[in-house]
Every structure is written in C-alpha cells, then in structure tokens.
C-alpha cells in the first residue's frame, strides 16, 4: 500500500531547498550550501557585467595607426591607473575595422565612448608619443586621475561576506549544531555516556564470575529500582550510593557494566577525570548538568569510575593563593549527592582503588551508604573466572581448569583473562588446532616473568653463576618447612631477569613470624650460594634484597613482630602520612628500626649460608643440572633432596569452598579470604634492572 504524499506549495519547496530539507535528529548542513552557491553566483554576475562594459584593448601600434588614419577624436590618459581611453569619431565607429571590434555597452549602443583602451607601461614615454602625434594629426588628449570606487567597494563587500560566512560556520560548529566538533559552548555539559532501555552493554551478572558478595549487594540495588514496593512496604529506603573498592583488575568496572546491562533504567557512565578541564567552573557545571539529566530520567543510576580523580581529601597539596578546580568540583558533587529527595530514584555507583585518599565527607552515610570491597579472587573464585574466559577458546583434553586455578594465586580477574588470551595466542603461534595445558602454563610464565630471550648472549661463567644463584633459592626453599613450595627453576632469560625460580604460595588467612622468616631466608639463598661457591657476590640479587628489605621493614614497623620495637605499628591506613614530611617516631627509634631490619636480614642470610654449606654437594648437583637442562622441575629436586613435607592448603581450601557452596544459600554471608602472593619467580636480575615478576609481589601490608 503506497503512502499518500503531502501536497506542498511552491513556496514550501523553495523554503525546503534553502533550508536543506532538514530531518529531525540528523545533522543536515546542505541548506547552507545554497546560500554559498547564491553568493558565488552574484559575485560572478557582477564580475561579468563589469567586464562586459570594459572597452576593447588595443596595442600601441593599433592606436598609432588609428590616429594616423584620423579615426580618433580624443585620448583620455589616466595616469594613476596607467591606461588610456580612446574615443573614436562618430563616422569612424561604423567603418571598418572598428564596427566589428567595438563592444556594445549595457544599453546595446556603440556610439558613446570610450571605444578602446590601451595599457601603457611608462606614462612619461606615452605622453611624449601622444604629443608628437598631436602635432601631425587632428585629435585632442586630456589627463585624468580616477579612483575605482566600485571595485574597492565590491572588494570590501566580498571580504566582509567571506568573514561573515566563516564566522557563521565557526559559530555553528562551536554551538554544537555542527557535529562532534562543537564543544566550546557545551564545555559545561556533562560527558556522561547514557545507556538507556534501547542501548545496553551486553554484559550481565552471569558474565561476572566470583565476587559473590559484591555481586549480591549490587544486585540488591538493581532489584530496588525494578521492584521498589518490595522494600518500601517494609519501610526501607534505597541506599543513595555504593562505592566499589578494591585492587586493580578485580572487576569493579565489570560489575558496573553488568548493572548497566540489567538495571533496565537509564545508566549514566563517566570517569572522574571527565569533570575536570582547564577552565574554571567547568567541573562544577558538569556535575550540575549530570544530576539534572539523571533526575529528569529518574529512576536512574550514575556510575563514576576512578572517582579519586575528583574525590581526594580537600586541603592536600593545595597551592597557596590558587583556585583548586578539583575541590570546587568535589564540593558541587557533595552538594548534589546529599541534596536528593528521599524518593528521587537516583543512585550513585563509584569505583576506586584508592579509597584511603577519598574525602571523609564523600564517604559518610547519606552519600555512599555502602562500601563494597572487591578483593582478589580466592581459589574457588579463580576457578569460576577461568570457566567464563575459556568459553570462546577451543580446548583439548589436557586442559585442567582446577589445576590452572591452583597455579595462579594472587591473579586478578583481568590477569586470568590475560592468561586465557595469551594461551590462545601461543597455541596459534605454534599452529595448533586447539589450546592445551602447556599453552596455559607458558602463558602464566609469560605474564609473570616476561618473554623468553633464548638468543641473549651470556658467557659460560655468567651462566654458571646464574645457575648456582637459582639453585641456592631452590635448595633453601626446599629444605625450609614454611617456605613456598617450588614449581620449577630456569636460567633462561625472561624480560630483564637472567633466571628465575617459580614458587606456589599457600592460600593463607594469616602469616606467622616463622613463615615470613623462612621466606626471607629462601630469598637470600641465591646470594648465599654465590658466596659459598665463588667466594664473591654479584648484582644479581637486586630483587631479592628489595623484597627482604620491604618484608623486614613491614615486620618491624607494621606487624609488631620484633622484640625490641615491641607490639607497635606505625602503619597509617588513612594514607594522610604520605603527604607529610614527619615520621610518627623519634630519631632514636628510627635508628633502632634500621638496626633491627639490618640484623634480621643478616641473621637470615647466615642461616641460608649454613643450610647451603651442609648441602653443598646437592647444591652443586642441582646447579650442574640447571646448566645442562636450563629448566628443572619439582621432580628433579625430589630425586636430589628426597620428598618434601608439604601442607596442601590449596586442596583444603578448594574442598571447603565446594562444601560451603553446596550448603550455603545464595544470600549467605560471603567469606573473605586474605590475598596471597602470586606464583612468584625469585629471579636473578640483570644489571639493567629488576624483573617484571616482582611487580606481582604481595607484601601483605593490609592490617
């Protein structure tokens, strides 16, 4: 069935053509081109008319010939414009050759002059020529000075027209009607990305593995917006805000994406840095505009990622006498968050990994009523995360997800996603049809230790030193009860490291003094082996020394695990001490702390030397195997040192988690589990720098 066309008058058609026939919701700029074409047409018409009235140009030879024939009545010399106009006698106009050369004027007449125009170079020479011809022939000549006002006025009009056109074009752009380039007049508008009912992120809570406690609290907020009567009937009020806090890569932004995908209400998403610009007052203006839009679309959710960009505590690092735009933005945010009506239906979600630096007024109840801590995934949660990320992969039968979850303690959700992707890339590089278990193990090694550099040139002496260094780590850790169990040792260079020893830390809730001292002793085993075998030490223990120094400092100043310092902790959970130059203890205490740290490290170093001296033959056997094979595994150490007494806590944790998952209902309280160290390589550093693996060291500084 054809649609009936609307009858339009000629005026309507003409108006549409000049307006560009704009369609609502589209950026139609074609109407402006009609005005440009019209202006260009008028310009060329005027130029054509002006050129049409211009006399025919003749040469000096032709002018002399016409004068000698007696056809010229008068010559008008315009000195300042360097040309002369020639007026013919009336009877000569109709004769040859003039009748075919003279142009008609606008009225179609040829009788009135001037009939010809001659351009000369030097006015003096031209005057002499005319005077000589005047003495011999009958004609007159005059001198004039003219100003071409018409052309000058037209040029000014043309210039002003171009300027006005450019100004209109620029104003159209900056006012925002010309597309994404118009931002100057809209600089105070919010940059939030809106996800409404017709636009979603295609992310749901099913895509968020683990994080059961955090997911439950966020789902409750979404459920309140969907079914408010369920809560209001009991007198409950919806939380005004929820703050997602946790280390990088744990899934805070992913939770927010899931909320946007399932809330079925308008969802405004932006970053904390989107509020701040170089202009004063822009941040506060954008906050007002954001909340205005949210209130108009209520019920709605506002998500501010990395809120610490504008939410830092006021008064820190404030420049003297300057206007702090970030503080103005924060003040406006505080006002808007606490200025809601009870049933306004606008909820604030925010994410940060620096909750310790946020302003207290921002954290109080009434603004962020809930703080949802998103911790590193435990063993069971890592298993669930692996299940999500391996769905698009083509796996072979050798892949054991439970084994991989045990091999990745301390990995965040983003790290696990990276492991799965790297495994697929490694399999594709090897031209495999599917991803296998070894590909996942290679991916873990790649992420922790860096890329293998088998072509790196290492002298035999350096290779032997590296082998004994890594063998020292492996020997001490194998013989100590509380040290982390060994996975493998390699002297293949990775990243900036020349060798590494991989360990599998236990899933611990708490750490005892003995466990920390054993880990320090194992870390110093590499340097101790160098001194025992070669009677000299090298720079290869850089990351080891850094690790044990930090660990000893934490034991003395944070955990209160030193007898002389006592049960005292100088740890500042608020983070305010980072902005001051004062220490919370005296100079005498500082000297005592330094001495205790030094003594603690020296004791463990001597302990490592004693262990290696008693097992020197086994140390040498292990080092020689390393030189020969370059990579040795747990089974090789079992053959040299015998069975090691291990406490398989990871298996126990997995069993307990499965039992809890079977018994506890969905809304049961989530268990919290302390963050463990990653599969950490104890590396031999190259002189250029430390290893990439040490970036994953966990110092367990949380109280």
Contact 80, 146 (CB under 8 A): yes
Contact 247, 376 (CB under 8 A): yes
Does a cis peptide bond (omega within 30 degrees of 0) precede residue 114?
yes
Contacts of 298 (CB under 8 A, 6+ apart): 344, 345, 346
Cα four-point dihedral sign 655, 661, 663, 669: positive
Torsion angle, alpha carbons of 74, 79, 82, 87, to 10 = -10
Torsion angle, alpha carbons of 480, 484, 487, 490, to 10 = -80
Q: Kindly write down the DSSP assignment for every residue of 18-85, as one continuous string.
A: HHT---TTS---HHHHHHHHHHHHHHHHHHHHHHHTSPEE--HHHHHHHHHHT-EEEEEEETTTTEEE
**Catalytic site includes residue 470:** yes
Question: Hey, what are 513's tokens?
Answer: 């003094």
Alpha-carbon distance 475 to 103, whole Å?
110
Of 327, 381, 464, 470, the active-site residue reads 470
Contact 556, 597 (CB under 8 A): yes
Closest CA to 171 of 157, 184, 155: 184
Alpha-carbon distance 89 to 77, whole Å?
17
Crossing angle, helix 413-429 and helix 379-389, to 10 degrees?
50
Contacts of 407 (CB under 8 A, 6+ apart): 441, 444, 487, 504, 679
Contact 693, 680 (CB under 8 A): yes
Closest CA to 680 of 485, 405, 526, 529: 485
The SS3 call for residue 371 is strand
Does a cis peptide bond (omega within 30 degrees of 0) precede residue 618?
no
Torsion angle, alpha carbons of 533, 534, 540, 544, to 10 = 40
How many other CB atoms are there within 10 angstroms of residue 650's CB atom?
Answer: 20
Residue for token pair 């004063």: 280
DSSP symbol at 88: E
Contacts of 321 (CB under 8 A, 6+ apart): none
Question: Hey, what are 219's tokens?
Answer: 């789902």
Alpha-carbon distance 614 to 21, whole Å?
93
Closest CA to 516 of 449, 600, 407, 409: 600
Among all residues, which ones are annotated catalytic?
A: 470
């Amino acid at each position: 069935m054809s649609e009936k066309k609307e009858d339009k008058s000629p005026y309507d058609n003409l108006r549409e053509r000049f307006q560009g026939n704009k369609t609502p919701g589209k950026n139609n700029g074609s109407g402006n081109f009609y005005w440009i074409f019209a202006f260009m047409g008028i310009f060329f018409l005027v130029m054509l008319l002006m050129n049409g009235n211009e006399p025919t140009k003749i040469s000096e030879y032709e002018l002399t010939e016409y004068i000698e024939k007696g056809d010229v009545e008068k010559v008008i010399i315009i000195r300042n414009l360097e040309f002369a106009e020639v007026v013919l006698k009336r009877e000569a106009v109709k004769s040859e050759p003039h009748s075919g050369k003279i142009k008609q004027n606008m009225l179609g007449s040829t009788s009135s002059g001037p009939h010809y125009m001659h351009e000369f170079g030097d006015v003096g020479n031209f005057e002499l020529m005319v005077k000589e011809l005047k003495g011999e022939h009958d004609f007159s000549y005059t001198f004039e000075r003219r100003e071409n006002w018409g052309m000058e006025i037209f040029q000014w009009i043309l210039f002003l027209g171009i300027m006005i056109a450019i100004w209109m074009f620029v104003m159209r752009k900056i006012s925002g009607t010309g597309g994404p380039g118009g931002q100057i007049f809209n600089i105070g508008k919010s940059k939030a990305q809106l996800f409404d009912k017709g636009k979603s992120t295609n992310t749901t809570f099913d895509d968020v593995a683990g994080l059961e406690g955090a997911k439950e609290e966020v789902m409750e907020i979404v459920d309140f917006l969907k079914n408010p009567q369920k809560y209001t009937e009991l007198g409950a009020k919806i939380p005004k805000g929820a703050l997602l806090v946790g280390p990088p890569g744990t899934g805070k932004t992913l939770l927010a994406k899931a909320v946007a995908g399932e809330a079925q209400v308008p969802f405004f998403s932006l970053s904390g840095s989107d509020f701040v610009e170089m202009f004063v007052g822009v941040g506060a203006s954008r906050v007002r505009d954001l909340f205005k839009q949210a209130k108009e679309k209520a019920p709605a959710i506002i998500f501010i990622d990395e809120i610490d960009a504008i939410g830092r505590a006021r008064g820190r690092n404030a420049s003297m006498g300057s206007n702090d735009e970030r503080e103005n933005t924060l003040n406006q945010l505080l006002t808007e968050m606490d200025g809601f009506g009870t049933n306004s239906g606008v909820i604030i979600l925010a994410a940060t990994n620096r909750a310790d630096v946020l302003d207290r007024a921002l954290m109080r109840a009434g603004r962020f009523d809930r703080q949802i801590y998103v911790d590193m995934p435990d063993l069971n949660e890592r298993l669930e995360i692996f299940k999500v990320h391996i769905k698009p992969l083509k796996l072979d039968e050798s892949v054991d997800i439970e084994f991989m979850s045990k091999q990745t303690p301390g990995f965040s959700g983003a790290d696990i996603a990276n492991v799965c992707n790297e495994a697929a890339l490694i399999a594709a590089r090897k031209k495999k049809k599917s991803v296998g278990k070894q590909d996942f193990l290679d991916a873990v090694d790649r992420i922790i230790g860096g890329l293998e550099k088998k072509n790196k040139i290492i002298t035999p002496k350096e290779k032997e030193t590296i082998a004994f260094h890594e063998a020292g780590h492996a020997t001490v850790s194998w013989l100590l009860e509380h040290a982390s169990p060994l996975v493998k040792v390699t002297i293949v260079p990775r990243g900036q490291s020349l060798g590494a020893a991989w360990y599998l830390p236990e899933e611990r809730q708490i750490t005892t003094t003995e466990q920390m001292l054993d880990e320090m002793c194992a870390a110093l085993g590499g340097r101790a082996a160098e001194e025992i075998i070669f009677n000299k030490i090298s720079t290869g223990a850089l990351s080891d020394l850094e690790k044990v120094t930090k660990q000893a400092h934490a034991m003395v100043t944070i955990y209160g695990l030193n007898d002389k310092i006592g049960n005292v902790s100088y740890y500042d959970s608020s983070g305010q001490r980072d902005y001051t130059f004062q220490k919370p203890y005296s100079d005498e205490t500082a000297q005592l702390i330094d001495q205790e740290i030094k003594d603690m490290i020296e004791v463990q170093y001597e302990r490592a030397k004693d262990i290696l001296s008693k097992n020197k033959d086994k140390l040498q056997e292990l080092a020689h195997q390393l030189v020969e094979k370059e990579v040795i595994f747990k089974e090789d150490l079992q053959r040299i040192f015998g069975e090691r007494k291990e406490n398989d806590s990871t298996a126990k944790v997995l069993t307990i988690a499965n039992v809890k998952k079977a018994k506890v209902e969905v809304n049961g309280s989530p268990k919290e589990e302390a963050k463990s160290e990653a599969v950490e390589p104890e590396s031999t550093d190259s002189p250029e720098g430390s290893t990439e693996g040490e970036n994953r060291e966990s110092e367990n500084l949380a109280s």
